[in-house]
Amino acid sequence: MSPLLLFSFVIAYFVILLVVAWYTGRNSNNESFFIGNRNSNWMLVAFGMIGTSLSGVTFVSVPGGVGDVAGGSFKGFAYMQVTIGYLIGYCVIAFVLLPLYYRMQLTSIYNYLQHRFGNIAYKTGALFFIISRTVGATARLYLVINILQFFILDKMGVPFVVTAAVILLMILLYTFEGGVKTIVYTDTLQTSLMIIGLIVCVVYILQQLHLSGGEALSQMQQKGYLNVFNTDVNSKGFFLKQIIGGAFITISMTGLDQEMMQKNISVKRLGDSQKNVVTMAVVMTGVLFLFLMLGGLLYLYAGSIGGTYTDAVVNGAPVKQFIVAHTSDIGHSTNVIGDKIFPTLALNYFPPAISVIFIIALISALFPSADGALTALTSSFCIDMLGLQQREELGEKGKKRVRLTVHLSFAIIFLLCVMVYYFLNNNSIIDIILDLAGYTYGPLLGLFAFGIFTRRGLPNSLWVTAVCLIAPVLSYFLSHNAKALFNGYQIGIELLLINGLFTYLGLLLISKPANATTAAAV
């Protein structure tokens, strides 16, 4: 299919987003941008947050991982282990964190740290959120931009940096005015299109293979794609690690994340916000299962057209590759294992109509994670770092001018980070995101856990920041030496919990007995 025609659908999609943004962003103010005037519909927030939580990484990497090989066997449906942990984490968010946020009527969730520990802890928590969300969101953004670049824009002679800049400009334009008030609606639209694309691709492949859903799962079982639970204690994928790690990833990357909670606390009532989280958790579990089923189907389909596993050596290490046969569109045989299999098949082997649906679904997965991150980072920097809400001397227009400047600045930072990932050129971006989350969200987990589970206070000094910086460094050294230190044991997704524990213990060392103020804030 013509790259120019595919790109025209991307432009048309963006125009629709602009129309939605213009309509929803009318008469918006700073309160609209930051928390949607606390008047968002919980059902829209719940549905839209599915797209934000899943992102382009889930759309491409989760299906691609099904046929990937780890430790001599397929990863298969092992991602369901993490998904079980997600459900546990969402329950903690709904019934522990949200009541706390609503009781304190927070605009930024990091104001909790200010009430509990003082200004330094507050600024430190906000800073770690800004770092965490920036590196995570730009990693997700890079993955989808890279796919668009490889399959469409390269053929049009457009440089990668231009593609990245144009897409960020698109996101900037439709979030510039309305912020949360706008993205509640745009995320709902985008999540709908992403799920429709997922379902269409699943149905199409089932029809091409002449299989029912049950027959397809049976074939996946025979191929070894249906593995769920990893029982190797030393493996990074051991099921208890994955479940516990998944729970704490959800608590940290959703419950302690301003982007995700900004949408939740934009709902008027606590009960509705809790319904939002529980509903999202249940629906997302079903969607993730469907993504894994799609992954199995992609490898079955590729096998039916001549795809085969081969052994290779990359950077001196033996690896498994999955090679698809020569086609006139691709022009050569290519390794499609992991992130590449879905876009390769959708854009080179599926009919044009399915290719268009794939591209629309892919960018629908891209925008919710990027637009929400850009808005939340702007909100956090303005509220937490600049104290914009308290600067009454600026007036509403002055505050808006500062907000727009910060918003533009983060768009530029996003572009620079995307270019860094481009030069790193990693094939499995989901592994990078989980590793980064372990290092950057750990201090946030430790800070909030110390505030919620103890009544001790902290010095309003840079000792708090020092602890939060030292903990990731200790975690890094432990992670990289665990195999030698612990008889082959490998630290995986539980790195986040270890980092949070180091932070908690460090805060305990510098803490002091509670006074009346800190006790009241618990």
Q: How far apart are CA 131 and CA 7, in angstroms?
A: 32
Q: How far apart are CA 388 and CA 68, in angstroms?
A: 48
Tell me the pLDDT tens digit for each residue of 481-511: 888 888 878 887 788 889 999 999 999 999 9
Superfamily of domain 3-521: Sodium/glucose cotransporter (1.20.1730.10)
Residue spans of alpha helices (H) in 328-462: 341-348, 352-380, 395-424, 429-440, 442-453
Tell me the pLDDT tens digit for each residue of 114-155: 899 999 999 998 888 888 888 888 887 887 788 788 778 888
Which one, of 210, 208, 328, 257, lies nearest residue 108 by Cα?
257
Q: How far apart are CA 416 and CA 2, in angstroms?
A: 30
Which tokens sit at 460? 């309003």
Which tokens sit at 205? 């492949």
pLDDT above 90: residue 107? no
Cβ atoms of 102 and 270 closer than 8 Å: yes
Cβ atoms of 176 and 28 closer than 8 Å: no
Q: How far apart are CA 139 and CA 442, in angstroms?
A: 18
pLDDT above 70: residue 86? yes
Cβ atoms of 253 and 106 closer than 8 Å: no
Question: pLDDT: is 75 or 511 the higher one?
Answer: 511
The domain limits of the chain are: 3-521
Count of other CB atoms within 10 angstroms of residue 219: 17
Question: pLDDT: is 89 or 404 the higher one?
Answer: 89
pLDDT above 50: residue 517? no
Phi-psi category of 100—alpha, beta or left, where left has phi over 0 and alpha has psi -120 to 50?
A: alpha
Q: Write down the pLDDT at residue 249.
A: 86
Cβ atoms of 468 and 443 closer than 8 Å: yes
Q: How far is CA 191 from CA 44, 62, 277, in A?
A: 10, 17, 16
Q: Give backbone dihedrals phi and psi of 457, rounded to 5 degrees, phi first.
A: -100, 170
Cβ atoms of 258 and 511 closer than 8 Å: no
Tell me the pLDDT tens digit for each residue of 293-329: 998 999 899 888 887 778 776 666 677 777 776 554 4
Question: pLDDT: is 162 or 324 the higher one?
Answer: 162
